A and B are shown apart, each in its own frame.
Chain A
Amino acid sequence: MRIVVDLTRCQAYAQCVFLAPQVFELHGEEVLLYRPDVPEEQLDRVRQAIAACPVQAILAGEEVNADAR
């Protein structure tokens, strides 16, 4: 799973950090850093983080597979 956080929307509520601290990290008070490639064992936590985001800024999915066609 790949994620991207729309930091235009993000208001640093940090709900994702609480729920998946291995993937999301707060630097200072409002700088959100994250691992764009989610490790297998973090999938459940990241799904919780996605659901919990108060501004629905976390997008998850698979990378484009350019060879699919």
Chain B
Amino acid sequence: MPGDPREGRIVVVGASLAGLRAAETLREEGFTGSLTVVGDEPHPPYDRPPLSKQVLLGTAAADATGLPMRREADAEWRLGVRATGLDPLGKRVLLADGDSLPYDRLLIATGTRARPWPHPEQAALDGVFTLRTREDAGILAERLAAGPRRVLVIGAGFTGSEIASACRERGVEVTVAERGPGPLVGALGGTLAKLAAGMQRAHGVDLRCGVTVTALRGRNGRFTGADLSDGSRVDADLCVVALGALRNVEWLADAGLAAGPHGVACDAGCRAFTMYGIVTDDVFVAGDVSRFPHPLFEYQMLSLEHWGNAVAQAEVAAHNMVSPGPLRRPHLTVPVFWSSQFGFTIKSVGVPAFSDQVTIAQGTLAERRLVAVYGYRGRVTAAVTLDMAKWLEHYRTLIETAAPFPPGPGAAGGRPLVTDFPIPSDVPDARGLSHGPTVALTGHLPDRRLTVVRSAG
């Protein structure tokens, strides 16, 4: 690329956490050219985690979670307009309002959206919601405040579980339906899923596992309940569909990039791959929409929906967008995730799904304070803490250094050694779950396996 990388035109598509942090970092790193940030929502960047917590509890307004800027990004914000296409040859982003934005370098940070209920007529019933945006949270909080008789949550992933927790805290009856064997099982495996199930039931959640919702029922356009695959029926006033997320990649359909259901594949430096597996040098990816290779997990492509990853990857992408090749950095952060529900904080480091065994290294299931450590073929690959977040750092180091599993002796509740011997971590195939896990290993290939088609002429 000719000229100083700190000059020229940069377009960031996506105006949420990753887009904002990238814009700030570009300026911090000395980018002096023109910067445009495109967002399909009409709002300035806002924080999403509080939407399923403070906002549903009614302690923060839905429109109060605007993200603070670290510094003035000096950008043109094109908010409320969707990017509809990308012309990588002409180097233009096409917008829904007919406009197009020329760029020298592009950052794709379009994130995800909630996976909708698959039957549009049923999804359209009044009282059926998904939770992803500020508007979703605002109306759901309003309906919860009105005191529904019962809420049905479909999917017991992190979002579904947090919604159920908020309902119980507000004194609202809630039924959770999950196709898999337990809540959070896709992210944490079977052992901790049992603990999570116990927590939900102890807080009065009517938890139904191993069932699917076959139909949402309504009367006069209002949601009234659902049929379950076990033949039972749940009567409820509200339904929250928490089936995981879909990557916002449709606008890239004709861009020739390695973009698919798991996101847009990029290299360790956040540069997007084309569908032929060739790395670009002017299109970068960051945040939930990205898939990137990670050396700690056999260089498989990771797909993460983590707050911390959006920040870290946006910073690396922004740095690399304005730095000459040898000064570029890899995005190697170990994934860290948190969730708060039923009065507990669950934190995870590494990729628990990348494991064959798990052991309790500190605390106990009975105390509901513990550190679970996950191993894969004899090395530590992940740890999950339940109300023991202060220890997490130690296990990150074990993961980073590929320490042997099970980990050695420690101050585990005053006991000198590991408490339980390892048992299978029991992570099911994500395809059998209602909830999409927020972390997924998606293989080594940047795109679907291509077949060479020779034209018959």
Chain A residues with CB under 8 Å of chain B are: 1-4, 6-8, 10-13, 25, 27-37, 59-66, 69
Asked if B40 CB lies within 8 Å of chain A CBs, one says no
Given known pairs A64-B44, A64-B77, the reply for A34 and B340 (CB within 8 Å) is no
CB pair B343–A28 under 8 Å, yes or no, is yes
CB pair A64–B338 under 8 Å, yes or no, is no
Kindly state the separation between the CA atoms of A31 and B169 in the bound complex, as whole angstroms. 14
26 contacts between A and B (CB under 8 A): A1-B68, A2-B67, A3-B68, A4-B47, A6-B307, A6-B308, A8-B336, A8-B337, A11-B390, A11-B392, A12-B390, A27-B343, A29-B387, A31-B340, A31-B344, A32-B340, A32-B345, A33-B340, A35-B54, A61-B69, A62-B69, A64-B44, A64-B67, A64-B73, A64-B77, A69-B76
In the complex, which residues of chain A have a beta carbon less than 8 angstroms from the beta carbon of B47? 4, 36
- Nearest-neighbour CB distance to chain A for B350, whole angstroms, equals 13
Interface centre among A1, A59, A61, A64 (most CB of B within 10 A): A64
Chain B: CB-nearest residue to A37:
B64
CB pair B68–A33 under 8 Å, yes or no, is no
Given known pairs A7-B307, A65-B44, the reply for A31 and B345 (CB within 8 Å) is yes
| Contacting residue for A63 out of B44, B307, B369, B387, CB 8 A | B44
Asked if B412 CB lies within 8 Å of chain A CBs, one says no
Kindly state the separation between the CA atoms of A36 and B47 in the bound complex, as whole angstroms. 9
Kindly state the separation between the CA atoms of A25 and B340 in the bound complex, as whole angstroms. 13
| Contacting residue for B68 out of A7, A29, A34, A60, CB 8 A | A60
CB pair B68–A63 under 8 Å, yes or no, is yes
Asked if B256 CB lies within 8 Å of chain A CBs, one says no
Asked if B53 CB lies within 8 Å of chain A CBs, one says yes
| Contacting residue for A61 out of B61, B70, B343, CB 8 A | B70
CB pair A63–B389 under 8 Å, yes or no, is no
Chain A: CB-nearest residue to B42:
A66
Kindly state the separation between the CA atoms of A67 and B20 in the bound complex, as whole angstroms. 15
Asked if B66 CB lies within 8 Å of chain A CBs, one says yes
Given known pairs A1-B68, A11-B390, the reply for A36 and B60 (CB within 8 Å) is yes
Asked if B79 CB lies within 8 Å of chain A CBs, one says yes
Produce 1/0 per residue, B374-409, CB < 8 A to A. 000000000000010110100000000000000000
Total cross-chain contacts (CB, 8 A): 104
In the complex, which residues of chain A have a beta carbon less than 8 angstroms from the beta carbon of B139? none
- Interface majority SS (helix, strand, loop, mixed), chain B: mixed
In the complex, which residues of chain B have a beta carbon less than 8 angstroms from the beta carbon of A33? 50, 53-54, 57, 59, 340
Q: How many residues of B contact A (CB 8 A)?
A: 42
Given known pairs A4-B67, A69-B76, the reply for A35 and B59 (CB within 8 Å) is yes
Kindly state the separation between the CA atoms of A35 and B50 in the bound complex, as whole angstroms. 9
| Contacting residue for A59 out of B44, B70, B344, CB 8 A | B70
18 further A-B contacts with Cβ under 8 Å, apart from A2-B68, A12-B345, A59-B68, are A4-B47, A7-B338, A8-B307, A8-B336, A8-B337, A12-B387, A12-B389, A31-B340, A32-B345, A33-B50, A33-B59, A37-B64, A37-B65, A61-B70, A64-B67, A66-B79, A69-B76, A69-B77
Kindly state the separation between the CA atoms of A2 and B53 in the bound complex, as whole angstroms. 17
Kindly state the separation between the CA atoms of A4 and B61 in the bound complex, as whole angstroms. 14
Chain A: CB-nearest residue to B64:
A37
- Nearest-neighbour CB distance to chain B for A15, whole angstroms, equals 13
Kindly state the separation between the CA atoms of A10 and B306 in the bound complex, as whole angstroms. 15
In the complex, which residues of chain A have a beta carbon less than 8 angstroms from the beta carbon of B75? 69
In the complex, which residues of chain B have a beta carbon less than 8 angstroms from the beta carbon of A62? 68-69
